[in-house]
A and B are shown apart, each in its own frame.
Chain A
């Protein structure tokens, strides 16, 4: 059917050869390296003309190697198809990807201050260290979480450029990273023959690795991660129509005509307009789940089109502190009426809002349902405020037998999933928050592309482990998110919801996983749990087990902007 050009709800064709692949498709690789680069400069002085020319030449040479949405999407589709056919991950199908992003300071060096001033996001313009206290990172300069102590991205070790290399194969990853480093140390300026290595310096290198079994796909506290992601509207190809986010719901058996609630790409995955994640496209309307805002998302220079803000936070996880708290607190709580028999596992799951295997408390309140956790068509289908609608039926070619697990029930008191459980804090779904309705919630969502770093915490950290230093080793999450407004999305989620004692669920305390209390210097958090038919019980959280230790706010430009704008030779 021909498309009405004026139809505001028509989905746009995405410029898939221009958008970097990790943004909308996601690398989904088990092995990744994050290289933080600094454009050499002496003291406070701006880099020399020679240095800038060298960086630009390096970018021109690098641009063709940057992986696009088109490439990553096609590979992911192939992988998905093979996995569905084989019933396991296919062997020998592998790819190695690279993406790049720049700080505001780097963009100013490579373009102009006028260009950079067109970006309106103050968090991006200011940079992460300057806004770290907004996120309630510690303000005590000696604290591990203060930017002065960070391993990268603080005032002592700023990073201008972030390169992400990702692969299915550790060997291929190592080879590509070696090539990249060689390009820094060996490549020369085509014009002068001068070495580029004097212009760019590696300030930090972090390896991200999916944890080994049995924790594969889980973060260090033991919980399955990355289950809930928004779906993105938009086409990779018009004819035949191929959407960037596959639509698996059968429109005949499960029509979704109601414009008042979000349209779902798969159960629990609402569709959001691409302008929330990539500049230059239709953006989500805070008052309408289906019809986008009238204006395209474009709060930057013209060349920002097809780009996205990248937030990177190196979050160290103190597994020992988390487990100690869970064990001691669950024992205390089990003495309270309504919480008899509370186990550490259940208590930890109440902090997260999901069981370790991924099943949501909302659908499995009292014990873990491992089958539900594994079922990707059911483990994200739930809500908080109202009884769940019936399960959505999927297209026959998906080969799904149907969602027969118990459905989520009205939980407006937080008696099933605590108000401040992590998943309820950062995605309140159908809750009317202090900011607005479920339509407004859709404007806050981010695309998460994180991966753990460091070895898993030993299950039984005995003396031998302590002696080898396994316990003391740093571990945590390399948090990566993409969005078109750091202020309204990432920073909003962190400050207004995770760090807030009452928002967005009226009460409940701060997010016990990623929340931070701005109440310096105590920084104590609170966590409220409620047993059905009982008044809420408040517990104090004295320890912090997620500590920021590095990061930055970056911009991930289009591939042509890398070569033609950032890499454009100096006049």
Chain B
């Protein structure tokens, strides 16, 4: 099986022309090709990461889900016994999204009279919106109007989004009045593809034993920041598949997804369980019980007929005061595409070794390691900055 091309996230129907569909596919496949080139540059390596449009996915193949919780783990772990401080921290300050929301989930909270009335969540990437800005600015504006805080939807104008022909991902509608797409530096589609690609490289310790631990791998290969949920999880799962000799890619359509959300433990002001107040504005819902969704933009809002607002809902005895309380109910993830189990047998490399000066483990002297130049993704903003 070969995909004819990569479709837009969750098979969105924003694109109206074949040109757009082909160009989007080409752009995403460009990330794949960079990842493959990165891996092939290691001596003796034939990249296990592959382009699913140009390379056959052999039967039998699997499409493993790799998912993690949406609330930032670094913040959670910083306040292990004070969840309220964690929720507050994650959304306090003008740059909270860029500083703290680093699990490929960002959210925007609307309050009236101090009470939350609406929280919107996104896992869409800037790359997609940048692409729309270049190919269909009218559609870009239409989507913005549909996703920002509804009281501002008629105020959004294209001139705020595209300035001098360049799309502005950190525009005010996507920061102050909505969470249209991800803006945290590393929450992007290139990172997703590159982490998956880089994690295919096998790593071993100085004594030659394979590195398998998620945080040790990420420290070793430097494809993200340890201590987080997402990047170590992606890296660890991909590396495990790679060690088993699989060919590894990402399932069409390639994107980050909201894979599940729940109302578990939430109660109305009268103490009865809440109804389903989640609305999926973009993406595909779960096809059945226990099946992951391909959600992209999710809103939590109580219908007016209920006579109360989000900020009146309780989880246990705590009323919902922060979007993070809801973010904890959301999982984020991606889908792999895996085949050819046991058919790859690549060498492994010591920590810090990148493609430029890499040599297979067996042939490499320890002192040569420092000479290599490691291609790194930008690391995350530390919590205490």
Residues on A facing B (Cβ under 8 Å)? 120-123, 125-126, 130-131, 133-134, 136, 139, 260-261, 283, 286-287, 293, 297, 299, 385-386, 412, 432, 434-439, 443, 484-485, 487-488, 495, 499, 501-502, 506-507, 509, 518-520, 524, 526, 535
Q: Mark each residue of chain B from 13 to 38: 1 if its CB lies under 8 Å from any CB of chain A, else 0.
A: 00000000000000000000000000
Within 8 A of A (CB), among B66-83: 66-69, 73, 77, 80-83
Contact of B97 with A by CB under 8 A? no
Complex partner residue of B316 from A134, A286, A412, CB under 8 angstroms: A134
Chain B: CB-nearest residue to A284: B80
Contact of B310 with A by CB under 8 A? no
Chain B: CB-nearest residue to A435: B229
Contact of B307 with A by CB under 8 A? no
Alpha-carbon gap, A293 to B315, bound state (A): 28
Contact B69 A435 (CB under 8 A): yes
Alpha-carbon gap, A78 to B376, bound state (A): 57
The answer to whether A519 and B289 touch (CB under 8 A), given A122-B83, A437-B236, is: yes
Chain A: CB-nearest residue to B211: A260
Chain A: CB-nearest residue to B333: A434
Contact of B155 with A by CB under 8 A? no
Alpha-carbon gap, A126 to B319, bound state (A): 12
Q: Which residues of A contact B289 (CB under 8 A)?
A: 501, 519, 524, 526
Contact B81 A121 (CB under 8 A): yes
Complex partner residue of A436 from B81, B214, B316, B317, CB under 8 angstroms: B214
Tell me, rounded to whole Å, the shortest Cβ–Cβ distance linking A304 to chain B: 12
Q: Mark each residue of chain B from 322 to 333: 1 if its CB lies under 8 Å from any CB of chain A, else 0.
A: 000000000100
Complex partner residue of B273 from A122, A126, A509, A520, CB under 8 angstroms: A520
The answer to whether A434 and B81 touch (CB under 8 A), given A130-B317, A136-B264, A518-B262, is: no
Complex partner residue of B80 from A436, A439, A488, A502, CB under 8 angstroms: A488
The answer to whether A502 and B69 touch (CB under 8 A), given A139-B273, A287-B215, is: no
Q: Which residues of A contact B290 (CB under 8 A)?
A: 501-502, 509, 526
Contact A434 B316 (CB under 8 A): no
Tell me, rounded to whole Å, the shortest Cβ–Cβ distance linking A358 to chain B: 28
Tell me, rounded to whole Å, the shortest Cβ–Cβ distance linking A525 to chain B: 9
**Leading 7 A-B pairs by shortest Cβ distance:** A134-B265, A501-B290, A299-B81, A432-B236, A432-B214, A126-B317, A126-B316
Within 8 A of A (CB), among B214-237: 214-216, 226-227, 229, 232-233, 236-237
Contact of B318 with A by CB under 8 A? yes
Alpha-carbon gap, A121 to B214, bound state (A): 29
Chain A: CB-nearest residue to B68: A434
- The contact sample of 28 A-B pairs, CB cut-off 8 A, is A122-B318, A123-B316, A130-B316, A130-B317, A134-B265, A134-B316, A136-B264, A261-B213, A286-B227, A287-B77, A293-B80, A385-B212, A386-B212, A432-B233, A434-B233, A435-B68, A436-B215, A437-B213, A437-B236, A438-B213, A484-B81, A501-B290, A502-B290, A506-B67, A506-B237, A507-B65, A519-B289, A526-B289
Alpha-carbon gap, A502 to B240, bound state (A): 18
Q: Which residues of B contact A438 (CB under 8 A)?
A: 213
The count of residues in chain B whose C-beta lies closer than 8 Å to any C-beta of chain A is 41
Alpha-carbon gap, A520 to B265, bound state (A): 12
Contact A436 B229 (CB under 8 A): yes
Tell me, rounded to whole Å, the shortest Cβ–Cβ distance linking A126 to chain B: 4
Q: Which residues of A contact B233 (CB under 8 A)?
A: 432, 434, 436
Q: Which residues of A contact B240 (CB under 8 A)?
A: 385, 412
Contact of B58 with A by CB under 8 A? no
Alpha-carbon gap, A286 to B228, bound state (A): 10
The answer to whether A502 and B67 touch (CB under 8 A), given A136-B264, A139-B273, is: yes
Tell me, rounded to whole Å, the shortest Cβ–Cβ distance linking B258 to chain A: 14
Chain B: CB-nearest residue to A438: B213
Q: Which residues of A contact B80 (CB under 8 A)?
A: 283, 286, 293, 443, 485, 488
Contact A133 B215 (CB under 8 A): no
Contact of B251 with A by CB under 8 A? no
Contact of B64 with A by CB under 8 A? yes
Alpha-carbon gap, A160 to B262, bound state (A): 32
Q: Which residues of B contact A261 (CB under 8 A)?
A: 213
Tell me, rounded to whole Å, the shortest Cβ–Cβ distance linking B117 to chain A: 23
Chain B: CB-nearest residue to A121: B81
Tell me, rounded to whole Å, the shortest Cβ–Cβ distance linking B156 to chain A: 35
Alpha-carbon gap, A130 to B317, bound state (A): 7
Tell me, rounded to whole Å, the shortest Cβ–Cβ distance linking A372 to chain B: 25
Contact B264 A518 (CB under 8 A): yes
Contact of B5 with A by CB under 8 A? no
Chain A: CB-nearest residue to B262: A518
Q: Which residues of B contact A501 (CB under 8 A)?
A: 289-290
Question: A131-B316, A487-B83, A509-B290 are known contacts; what are 7 more A-B pairs with Cβ within 8 Å?
Answer: A125-B317, A139-B273, A432-B213, A434-B331, A495-B264, A507-B65, A526-B289
Alpha-carbon gap, A134 to B274, bound state (A): 12
The answer to whether A131 and B227 touch (CB under 8 A), given A435-B69, A506-B66, is: no
Contact B81 A485 (CB under 8 A): yes
Alpha-carbon gap, A358 to B273, bound state (A): 40
Q: Mark each residue of chain B from 282 to 300: 1 if its CB lies under 8 Å from any CB of chain A, else 0.
A: 0000000110100000000
The answer to whether A437 and B317 touch (CB under 8 A), given A120-B82, A299-B81, is: no
Tell me, rounded to whole Å, the shortest Cβ–Cβ distance linking A251 to chain B: 20
Alpha-carbon gap, A10 to B83, bound state (A): 29
Alpha-carbon gap, A373 to B273, bound state (A): 44
Tell me, rounded to whole Å, the shortest Cβ–Cβ distance linking A550 to chain B: 19
Alpha-carbon gap, A537 to B213, bound state (A): 29
